[in-house]
Amino acid sequence: MKIKDMEIFLDLLNTQSPTHTANNFSITQPNVSIVIKNLENKFDGILFERLGKKLLPTPKALELGKNWLKIIQAYYQSLEKLNDESMLLGEIKIASTQSISEHFLAPILFDFKAEFKNIEIRSQTQNSKECLNLLKNGNIEFAIIEAELDPALVEYENLEINFWQDDELIVATSDKKLNEKEFYIDELLEQKWILREVGSGLRDKFLNEIGASSKKLNIFLELDRMAAIKELVLQKKAISIFSK
């Protein structure tokens, strides 16, 4: 049963005039007659009796109209709820890299939750490689990473990429001797470098940027937490790379 046919029937109950109902729906009077005839065939009975220019509903039509009015009202109420953003329901699963999780994402999620109270947010922190794996396997809806992706990979995995913002990499250390002047990266390769684990977008970006020099880089220690790396840089005069 079509919603429009039900609406035409209900309108005819009110107007008792095929002409008026046809005008209300911008259709022809014969179309109204066809709808009513099909309904009478479906329910095996007369729904309207003609009295002059009016169509008087039968008891069967009145009972049908009472039930259908509830259905139509419920239908439009459901549409209003679906179109009301405040009534959106569901769950969003997000994975992001550490720097994004620690410095950017929390306020965004807070504001989103304040506006869409009925949506549950599941957020986790992973390196770029694991974020992409979760996305490819359908475990999350969004991956927010600090990495450049191979266009061929994007096309192959059918990923949709949206650029967020530019960032810069900075080298940091608490060793005052290294803060006295500028150095070329080749002059720092033998320092005690502390990097993120394999799969980190920050690590990959840095190693790609320094090119062949990465093969000579003294990776003294690998850690999976930026907070721990920062502490070692501050306390042990180590050196590392950070997102600006």
List, for residues 90-106, the tens digit of each pLDDT value: 889 999 988 888 878 88
Between 159 and 183, residue with greater pLDDT: 183
User: What is 169-243's CATH number?
Assistant: 3.40.190.10
Decide: helix, strand or coil at residue 225.
coil
Between 61 and 242, residue with greater pLDDT: 61
Q: Using 50, 70 and 90 to split pLDDT, how confident is the model at 15?
A: very high
Query: Taking the domains of the chain in order of start, what are their residue ranges?
Result: 3-83, 87-156, 169-243
Instruction: Give domain 87-156's CATH architecture.
Output: 3-Layer(aba) Sandwich (3.40)
pTM of the model: 0.50
Q: Using 50, 70 and 90 to split pLDDT, how confident is the model at 87?
A: low
Q: Quick one: pLDDT at residue 78?
A: 83
d(CA 144, CA 207): 20
9-13, 114-118, 137-141 — which is least confidently predicted? 114-118
pLDDT at 219 over 70: yes
Does the structural domain 3-83 have CATH classification 1.10.10.10? yes
The whole-number average pLDDT for the span 189-208 is: 88
pLDDT at 218 over 90: yes
Q: What is the pLDDT of residues 17-53, one digit of tens each?
A: 999 999 999 999 999 999 999 999 998 999 999 888 8
pLDDT at 69 over 90: yes
Q: Quick one: pLDDT at residue 99?
A: 81
Q: Quick one: pLDDT at residue 179?
A: 81
Average pLDDT, the chain: 87
pLDDT at 162 over 90: no
Containing 144, the helix (H) or strand (E) segment is strand 142-144
CB-based contacts of 111-120 (< 8 A; 24+ apart in sequence): 115/85, 115/86, 116/85, 116/86, 116/88, 117/86, 118/86, 118/87, 118/88, 118/89, 118/90, 119/88, 119/89, 119/90, 119/91, 119/92, 120/90, 120/91, 120/92
Per DSSP, the residues of 61-115 read HHHHHHHHHHHHHHHHHHHHHHH-GGG--EEEEEEE-HHHIIIIIHHHHHHHHHH
Residue 27 tokens read as 């259709």
Output DSSP code: residue 215.
G
Q: Do domains 87-156 and 169-243 have the same CATH topology?
A: yes
Q: Quick one: pLDDT at residue 88?
A: 67
Query: What are the phi and psi torsion angles at 168 (to 5°)?
Result: -125, 150
* CB-based contacts of 133, cutoff 8 Å, min separation 6: none
pLDDT at 129 over 90: no
The whole-number average pLDDT for the span 128-134 is: 88
d(CA 44, CA 164): 62
